[in-house]
Chains A and B, each alone.
Chain A
């Protein structure tokens, strides 16, 4: 019998289906519904921004590949970074902005630190923050979604900016977030109004129409961040595919909610335990950040315990920046700040080893 040539390699000889590329593509797939919603409400320009981001990100990766004689386009990470950069752009940003952001993300943040796996802050977020501080005006001009009929066309600030303005001008007087927005005549959709009414009349739960709009994505904001609902849908896909675990997003959102609930009231001239955080949870980059940015594997801890600490830290800083910061930029800065703490967390938060605690069953039995 002819002996076939076989491979001799170290065990194990089986492997789970997932690989780096499949994880990256899964995340991209999970982001697609929210991106399409952004394109729908903000128009084709949004699509152009996203495509330019992706193209420039992949192109920069390709050029760097040429330089370092590698081939890393196939791992899907450049595509994903580009997509995330695009989702973090206002639909009206000049085309140069996403190009600069993508190039900064791929070249400075990822490649100079050693490429995929070696960067210590999230490239897409770093790209966004870089252009945010470089083009503050451009990055803060938002388009109203087509689903929201606007009487006053100039009113295109996001809910969070509007609330910050209100608080800044001292026109609060013990109002909740929704109260502040209503006082300033911020618009909401008829749909949100009727959902809010239904909650009030049928369930007896006060749910502000602004929260409903924020949840479904009828708000001004970056292309990919507006629809909390579709982002959560994408996150559910990632949970099912076991790409992300609950630790980081849950601890982030819970920590933020707790801080906002306990101390958030002070900002609006109310007391402790008066903070109104529900609207906050679904607005801005919160959901996108919690499920897609903070969970970036490269820049988050590897242990469950570490992830919980990491998420809690992001929640705290997000609260701090949103309620007491002067910039309309909280989630991304909080995540980047905690990215920097990851090596420290990794150093001190170790998993519990099997057999670390000496088992002494007999003594226990004696006590019982």
Chain B
């Protein structure tokens, strides 16, 4: 029997609901009549605009320049015209400037062919990753070139590829691994060439047995030095801290990065984007989005150009079956609730969910009964109930002293709280006010 590892501390087991959409092959979204391409689709400083209203753009053309070390370029997803530049509110409530692009009706899409890339040097590859605006597509949208840059004096023991997709409902990475295993692996090998790790591991949760099989077959067919490790299903295994604990049994010290334990983590979606950037010289201008949720007429996995509006995705899925209680961008545990169907798909949008509030979501908020479920569920070993009480009493400094900043808002505490206290909400508030 193969030993199926997982991380030890905390975690929860929500119903994964992946069966709703995991049988749906990735389809291409019909070209929308208008795209909204924000300048801030990533963690860090927004890109600065290179185009003005009325300018013609070509698919893959750089239209926003990275401004700062932690920032990323923005490219036009289509051939078309910039019809406006206006402020938009993203699903995560960030307000940013965005290009409104009307795609060319006849030939909206660009074409990219694989070019020889085997002879490129690691720094040339990083330069391509940076130039093509690749960021982590798992949701955190951290600029990938920064992640792949291994500082002098540090070496990489393990390149760990995140195929966990632990958020319920989401199947975008799952489908990508199934349908594009070869290209994902090529992306991984490019990342390996850049970071020069001693070993390469792909961690995949065991609810994606077909993907594990396909990846293993592709690995052995190509003779890649890659291990595909099945992981026991447990949320939030897709977080890099839990993933590294599960796969290589290392604990990233509080406040440190994977590199501090000799690891680099990239998502499978990101690996695919790295392949496209380096081998096709194609910028990150589209991505796979899972369209799911009980209120959606049909559940799909769709390759959508960045800037496609939520309304376009809903229309593609055949509209709404009934009025949902919530629209979620991303997964239900860490995703953002939003209300506007004009909200665009950005680099970090892994899913679009139209959710009904289950009866469990409607229970009343009662006082904390100190049951300790949040403490048991916290993968970071924090005490959410105490932090919440401190924040509620405006003792932000005390909350910081109890390591509030270790909280990554995974949602395990709120999920398990029988008193239905908005614990994560409190943590977010406390972090903001505590940093001041």
- Classify chain A's interface size: 35 or more
List CB contacts (< 8 Å) of B238-293 with chain A.
Answer: 241, 245, 250-256, 261-262
Name the residue of chain A whose CB is nearest to the CB of B384.
Answer: A302
For the complex, what is the distance from the CA of A321 to the CA of B431, rounded to whole Å?
Answer: 48
Given contacts A116-B369, A355-B251, contact A7 B333 (CB under 8 A): no
List CB contacts (< 8 Å) of A76-122 with chain B.
Answer: 115-118
Chain B residues lying within 8 Å of A117, measured Cβ to Cβ, are 366-370, 419
Q: Pick from B12, B324, B366, B419: contact of A6, CB below 8 A.
A: B324
The answer to whether B416 and A23 have CB atoms under 8 Å apart is no
B69 within 8 A of A: no
Instruction: Select the stretch in B55-63, B223-231, B407-415 that faces chain A.
Output: B407-415
Name the residue of chain A whose CB is nearest to the CB of B260.
Answer: A359
Chain B residues lying within 8 Å of A303, measured Cβ to Cβ, are 372, 375, 383
List CB contacts (< 8 Å) of A292-317 with chain B.
Answer: 297-304, 307
A44 within 8 A of B: no
For the complex, what is the distance from the CA of A61 to the CA of B425, rounded to whole Å?
Answer: 31
Query: What's the minimum C-beta distance from A26 to chain B, rounded to whole angstroms?
Result: 10
Given contacts A3-B341, A5-B339, A303-B372, contact A12 B380 (CB under 8 A): no
The answer to whether A7 and B326 have CB atoms under 8 Å apart is yes
Q: Pick from B315, B361, B425: contact of A15, CB below 8 A.
A: B361
The answer to whether A20 and B418 have CB atoms under 8 Å apart is yes
Chain B residues lying within 8 Å of A350, measured Cβ to Cβ, are 383
Given contacts A8-B337, A19-B366, contact A302 B415 (CB under 8 A): no
Query: What's the minimum C-beta distance from A96 to chain B, rounded to whole angstroms?
Result: 30
Name the residue of chain B whose CB is nearest to the CB of A18.
Answer: B418
For the complex, what is the distance from the CA of A105 to the CA of B184, rounded to whole Å?
Answer: 63
The answer to whether A1 and B315 have CB atoms under 8 Å apart is yes
Chain B residues lying within 8 Å of A358, measured Cβ to Cβ, are 253
For the complex, what is the distance from the CA of A20 to the CA of B372, rounded to whole Å?
Answer: 13
The answer to whether B337 and A13 have CB atoms under 8 Å apart is yes
Name the residue of chain B whose CB is nearest to the CB of A358.
Answer: B253
The answer to whether B375 and A302 have CB atoms under 8 Å apart is yes
Query: What's the minimum C-beta distance from A362 to chain B, rounded to whole angstroms?
Result: 8
The answer to whether B385 and A22 have CB atoms under 8 Å apart is no
20 further interface pairs, Cβ-Cβ under 8 Å (given A14-B361, A15-B358, A353-B406): A6-B338, A8-B339, A11-B336, A11-B411, A13-B337, A13-B355, A14-B332, A14-B411, A15-B361, A18-B373, A20-B363, A20-B418, A75-B366, A297-B371, A307-B372, A351-B381, A351-B383, A352-B9, A355-B256, A359-B252
Give 9 closest A-B pairs by Cβ, nearest first: A12-B411, A302-B372, A117-B367, A10-B425, A4-B323, A19-B363, A297-B371, A353-B381, A355-B254
Interfacial residues, chain A to chain B (CB-CB below 8 A): 1, 3-23, 72, 74-75, 115-118, 245, 297-304, 307, 350-359, 361-362
Q: List 27 A-B contacts (CB under 8 A).
A: A5-B323, A9-B326, A10-B428, A11-B335, A14-B14, A14-B358, A14-B361, A18-B373, A18-B416, A19-B364, A19-B418, A20-B420, A22-B418, A23-B371, A72-B366, A74-B364, A302-B372, A302-B383, A307-B372, A351-B375, A351-B382, A353-B380, A354-B9, A355-B241, A355-B252, A356-B253, A359-B253
